[in-house]
Amino acid sequence: MDTKTKIIKNSLELFAQKGYEGTSMSDIATAVGIRKASIYSHYKGKEEIFQAVFSSIVEEHSNFLNEFFETLNGLSAEKKLETIFRGYISYCKDNRNIDFWNRFYYFPPESLRTLIHDTTHETEAVMESEINTSIKEGMDKGYIKEGGVKEIGIAFYYMMIGFMLSLSFYEDKDMEKDLTACFNTFWDGIRNNPD
């Protein structure tokens, strides 16, 4: 592993444990096993290191979404939405990168607030687009009640994000029951029930 990769890996752990303000360049140097001065040949300072850590997390997340969305081809609207819901929750569970992202989205360093929020909203837009496409397809085929695609998509998205934010309170056996209940209740509310 090269030095830049070690800096990113160790900085992620330090920022996650100690926060942005609580992590010093000396902490990073010690964790990597190099002199503090050596870090500056790779990064200008702590903010640039944080940006590199955050960029690596966003890139990994984007790669996951691209591959994950490919698996939805050919599924019914119900199966697409259920796969998105369950698959994304599974991806987020015990995922150090997602824990990091959540922490710094809600409690960002002031100088990085705009970067973190703007990047997060861009990522949300990708997820929401896929959700909305699935809902629209379901409406077009008569499986989902006619209505506001965007409004249904937002409800689905925030149900999923709310569940994701509570993952640390779950053991695997407890989670399955609630995953099923959440999705089934949502689906029952939007599915077309011809008389």
Q: Rg of the chain over CA atoms, in angstroms?
A: 20
pLDDT band at 195 (very low <50, low <70, confident <90, very high): low
Whether 26 has a pLDDT exceeding 80, the answer reads yes
pLDDT of 194: 58
pLDDT of 121: 96
User: In 3-state terms, what secondary structure has residue 194?
Assistant: coil
Amino acid letter, residue 80? K
Which tokens hold the place of 153? 């998509």
Q: What pLDDT digit, counting tens, does each position of 151-191 carry?
A: 999 999 999 999 999 988 877 667 889 999 999 999 999 99
Q: What pLDDT digit, counting tens, does each position of 58-67 carry?
A: 999 999 999 9
For the chain, domain boundaries: 74-190
Fold of 74-190: Tetracycline Repressor; domain 2 (1.10.357)
Residue with tokens 């698996």: 71
Q: What pLDDT digit, counting tens, does each position of 81-132 carry?
A: 999 999 999 999 999 999 999 999 999 999 999 999 999 999 999 999 999 9
Which tokens hold the place of 132? 């909305």
Closest CA to 97 of 131, 48, 130, 64: 64
Residue with tokens 């800096």: 7
Residue 157 CA to residue 171 CA, distance in Å, equals: 23
pTM value?
0.90
Give the helix ranges, DSSP H, for the chain: 3-22, 25-32, 36-39, 46-70, 77-92, 96-106, 113-140, 149-165, 172-190
Closest CA to 12 of 51, 45, 53: 53
